[in-house]
Structure 1
Amino acid sequence: MKFTLASLNDLDEIMNIERQGFNAAEAGSIKSYRDRIVKLHDTFLTVRNDLNKVIGFVVGPAVNERFIKNDMYETTPNNLSKGGHQLVFTIAIDPDYRGQGIGSKLLSEFEKIARKDNRESIALTCLKNRITFYEKNGFTNLGVADSNHGDEVWYNMEKIIE
């Protein structure tokens, strides 16, 4: 496995994984992912297999806000260069590669970027059935989030960077 920052050349592979991991109401559009690759280049990490195929990714902005706001999905915020909070919009793994610990390794690599850039925390929202996964990766469940993205109930998860 190899971890690299995303480029526009990865867009088709990223969108394929996105569509397999999320329903139509939750999934990001090609336009939003193109914008994220450009604006969030330093915090858009991919994982590749031995054939250099993208098999997973994690992306989110580094901002002053501690948690994701619904409008951030509509208009991608710009990354802070240093400090603030690292948010996770999406982490997704190709279905053929799930259950192999790749998601945990991807989060660990993402945390290295957040530490290097002096972020205070990493935060995300997830569905109830994913809480255990994030808790195993050091996140704390802070309860139901304000978000109603995709008409789902989301939970705020946070990991303090010390």
Structure 2
Amino acid sequence: MEIRECLSSDYKDIYQLNKKAFGYEYDIEKTKSRLNEIINRETDKIYVASIDNKVVGYIHGSDYECTYSDPLKNIMAIAVDEDYRGKGIGRTLLNAIENWAKESDCSGVRLVSGFNRVEAHRFYLHCGYNDRKDQKNFIKYFNRCN
């Protein structure tokens, strides 16, 4: 297994992982565009796990800055192909973001996970994350011209 920073050419694999792992039907061309924007920011990192040159997982971390906490890294997404779960890929991806957080002098790493993702919750606990609180997630979309 190889862990490396994501390349713009990985967009098809990221699209497929988002679709399979999360059920997201986000347009593939928009995925390509968003990925290009994100990987060029200093505030974000996306690492991919590949086996035999096939991307089988990824993790996206971002700066988490607020007035009530020391700086953290926020895991925006972590996905591992179902056929490759249980092989240490998720843990290795988490380690990549954790190492980035330590190198950036952050106080830790945080993430949120949907109520229904019980298996993922067990995984996070097993990796040393604490179940801190239950929350609701609210969003308001705007009509955009593009």
Q: Deviations over 1:78-137 (max 9, x none)?
A: xxxxx8210001000112211222111211222111111111110010123122111111
**Structure ranking higher on relative contact order (CA contacts 8 Å, 6+ apart):** 1
Offset at residue 146 of structure 1 (A): 4.2
Aligned residues: 133
Q: Distance in 2 between matches of 1:34 and 1:24?
A: 18
Q: Which runs of 5+ in 2 are unaligned?
A: 140-146
Determine what percentage of the aligned residue pairs are the same residue: 22
Quick one: structure 1 residues 94 and 105, their matched pair in 2 at CA, closer, same or farther if it must change by over 3 Å?
same
Quick one: structure 1 residues 27 and 126, their matched pair in 2 at CA, closer, same or farther if it must change by over 3 Å?
farther
State the TM-score, normalized to the length of structure 1. 0.70
Offset at residue 65 of structure 1 (A): 3.1
What's 1:135 paired with?
Answer: 125
Is the contact made by 1:58 and 1:90 (CA closer than 8 Å) also made in structure 2?
yes
Q: Distance in 2 between matches of 1:111 and 1:54?
A: 20
Is the contact made by 2:38 and 2:44 (CA closer than 8 Å) also made in structure 1?
no
Q: Distance in 2 between matches of 1:137 and 1:66?
A: 27
Q: Distance in 1 between matches of 2:67 and 2:80?
A: 25
Does residue 11 (structure 1) correspond to residue 1 (structure 2)? The answer is no
Compare CA radii of gyration and give the structure with the larger one: 2
What's 2:81 paired with?
Answer: 94
Map residues 106-117 of structure 1 onto 2, 5 A cutoff.
106-117=93-104
What's 1:47 paired with?
Answer: 49
Q: Distance in 2 between matches of 1:100 and 1:86?
A: 24
SS at match of 2:133: strand
State the TM-score, normalized to the length of structure 2. 0.77
Q: Which runs of 5+ in 1 are unaligned?
A: 68-82, 150-162
Offset at residue 14 of structure 1 (A): 1.1
Is the contact made by 2:61 and 2:97 (CA closer than 8 Å) also made in structure 1?
no
Quick one: structure 1 residues 119 and 26, their matched pair in 2 at CA, closer, same or farther if it must change by over 3 Å?
farther
Does residue 22 (structure 1) correspond to residue 9 (structure 2)? The answer is no
Map residues 72-91 of structure 1 onto 2, 5 A cutoff.
84-91=71-78
